[in-house]
Amino acid sequence: MKTLNIGLVGYGFMGRTHSNAFLQAPRYFQLPYKPVLKALCARNADRAKAFADNWGYESIETDWRKLVERKDIDLIDIASTNDTHHDIAIAAAKAGKMVMCEKPLGRNAEEAKAMVAAVEAAKVPNSVWYNYRRVPAVVLLKHLLDEGKFGRIFHYRAKFLQDWTISADLPQGGEGLWRLDVKVAGSGVTGDLLAHCIDTALWLNGSISEVTAMTETFIKERKHNLTGKVEPVGIDDASAFLCRFKNGTLATFESTRYARGHKALYTLEINGEHASAAWDLHDLHRIQYFDHKDEGRVRGWRSVHITDSDHPYMKHWWVPGLQIGYEHTFIHQFADFVQAAAEGESIGPTFRDGLATDYVTDAVLKSAGTKKWETVPAA
């Protein structure tokens, strides 16, 4: 079997989920290539070495440019901070590597557009790690929607709530806190959390044509960890928007890091002519489903446990009734990516899909400034 030599950039939270996916995918899925953890790249050599030893990477690099130049790497996987995605992805595509990149694709649509141009010009398989597309329950929703079970979709509602930045003493910038530094992150919850909700929504319900939004930065200044000075906060702490989908659906999206008690509550609900469904990340293996075509006497909301072997991805895992979790979404995405890459194809979300989400997040941030409805360009 041919090998697929992987060079990973970044050893943080996502570096771990991706490394786990590279190791687990060939054990549960039939892959056309054998993934090889060839090199790990991070700036601190000692920590890179410790991570490489723990996960079984054969070598380390401390400069991503060296990693991209290496002839023995087939796939560059970008799991580093948002400010690095653009340069690494473009260099990797120019070097003819396959590219997987964490979300958001760019800090803004302009960056993402250049990244799309690079992978499409190089014709290399590419994908963005919007992993919620590979929760079995969310995939089932997609199948039900595509089969027309919901009929016309009137409403789409999504939220992503957290509470970890409420303290005014929390600094911004540097390790662990780069999400509060607008230069590194690009935006706050809009690009970080709402981007996930938007990607799922575009996949399930088609494109968004216009948005009107409001954002807020509750804590206006924070000490910057890298400069030691108190500096203005440039990110949005909370973001909410109304939008219209091209198919006529009305929708609301909300995200914040100030919802006390909520750690990572991603919820979505769809209301159609014949059916409704709701899903949330805390109960990720279930959908709540209402079908108006059920016999009236027993009609009601049902809670479907997505663990049977005829549910998406589940035949690869345990016996019916036993569930899987968050880390499996990355395993599914990597397995799908490798299977398509063997045919020279890309799986969604592609870089172009990532650009579509960046167009929406850009329009949301623009609308929050102009206080007007903003049109979303087609990707």
Smallest distance, ligand NAD to C-beta of residue 142, A: 18
Question: How many residues lie near ligand NAD (CB under 6 A)?
Answer: 22
Q: Is 131 in the site for ligand NAD (CB under 6 A)?
A: yes
190 binds ligand NAD (CB under 6 A): no
Of positions 5, 7, 8, 10, contacts ligand NAD by CB under 6 A: 10
Which region, judged by CB under 6 A, interacts with ligand NAD, from 11-19, 21-29, 209-217, 314-322? 11-19
Tell me: does residue 212 bind ligand NAD (CB under 6 A).
no
E strands present in the chain:
2-9, 33-41, 59-61, 75-78, 98-101, 126-128, 153-161, 208-216, 221-223, 230-232, 238-245, 250-256, 265-272, 275-280, 286-291, 302-305, 374-375
12 is a site residue for ligand NAD (CB under 6 A): yes
Q: Work out which of 64, 241, 334, 337 binds ligand NAD, going by CB under 6 A.
A: 64
Amino acid identity, residue 233? V
- Which CB, 84 or 207, lies closer to ligand NAD? 84
Residue 175: name the closest of 81, 238, 52, 79 by CA: 81
For the bound state, the minimum distance from the C-beta of residue 250 to ligand NAD, rounded and expressed in Å, comes to: 27
Task: List Cβ neighbours of 255 (8 Å cut-off, separation of 6 or more).
Answer: 159, 160, 161, 189, 190, 193, 194, 197, 238, 239, 240
Does position 337 interact with ligand NAD (CB under 6 A)? The reply is no
Binding of ligand NAD by 43 (CB under 6 A): yes
Residue 81 lies near ligand NAD (rule: CB under 6 A) = yes
Taking the C-alpha atoms of residue 178 and residue 167, their distance in angstroms, rounded to an integer, is: 16
Tell me how far, at minimum, the Cβ of 79 lies from ligand NAD, in Å.
Answer: 5
With vertex at residue 195, the alpha carbon angle to CA 102 and CA 243, rounded to the nearest 5 degrees, is 160
15 in contact with ligand NAD (CB under 6 A): yes
The verdict on 158 binding ligand NAD (CB under 6 A) reads no
Should residue 249 be labelled a site residue for ligand NAD when binding is judged by CB under 6 A?
no
